Amino acid sequence: AQSVAQPEDQVNVAEGNPLTVKCTYSVSGNPYLFWYVQYPNRGLQFLLKYITGDNLVKGSYGFEAEFNKSQTSFHLKKPSALVSDSALYFCAVKTGGFKTIFGAGTRLFVKA
């Protein structure tokens, strides 16, 4: 069965510092991997995806993610965090079907 794990409920980082939000997955077959962000009382917004190709994927708002097949990870990163990056982040996976499996979410707090 497919699954996604986000091991941290919350990540705290100071503004200007680099941030990492972790994600590991378990699938049979080649995964499609996604990151989404959710601001309070809003729907999720798509940030970036990995389908194939370069393991480093760049997305919206300066975010990037690195696909590591051997570690089955897809960590979200940003070189310099902003207070406005504070939100709930979801990692998601699918293997070509219609359903996407979402992680439980990681709340990011960026302190000024």
Partner 1 sequence: SQTIHQWPATLVQPVGSPLSLECTVEGTSNPNLYWYRQAAGRGLQLLFYSVGIGQISSEVPQNLSASRPQDRQFILSSKKLLLSDSGFYLCAWGAIAGAEQFFGPGTRLTVL
Which residue's CB is nearer to partner 1, number 19 or number 57?
A: 57
Residue 8: count of CB within 10 angstroms of its CB: 15
Residues paired with residue 13 on neighbouring β-strands, in sequence order = 110
| Contact flag: residue 102 with partner 1 (CB under 8 A) | yes
109 binds partner 1 (CB under 8 A): no
How many angstroms from the chain centroid is the CA of residue 105? 9
- Return the residue matching tokens 């069965």: 1
Give the torsion sign (CA, 102, 22, 44, 59): negative
Looking at beta carbons only, is 15 or 44 nearer to partner 1? 44
Give backbone dihedrals phi and psi of 110, rounded to 5 degrees, phi first: -110, 120
Task: Verify binding: residue 28, partner 1, rule CB under 8 A.
Answer: no
Among 44, 66, 72, 73, binds partner 1 (CB under 8 A): 44
Contacting range for partner 1; rule: CB under 8 A; set: 13-21, 43-51, 68-76, 77-85:
43-51
Q: Which of 12, 20, 26, 46 binds partner 1 (CB under 8 A)?
A: 46
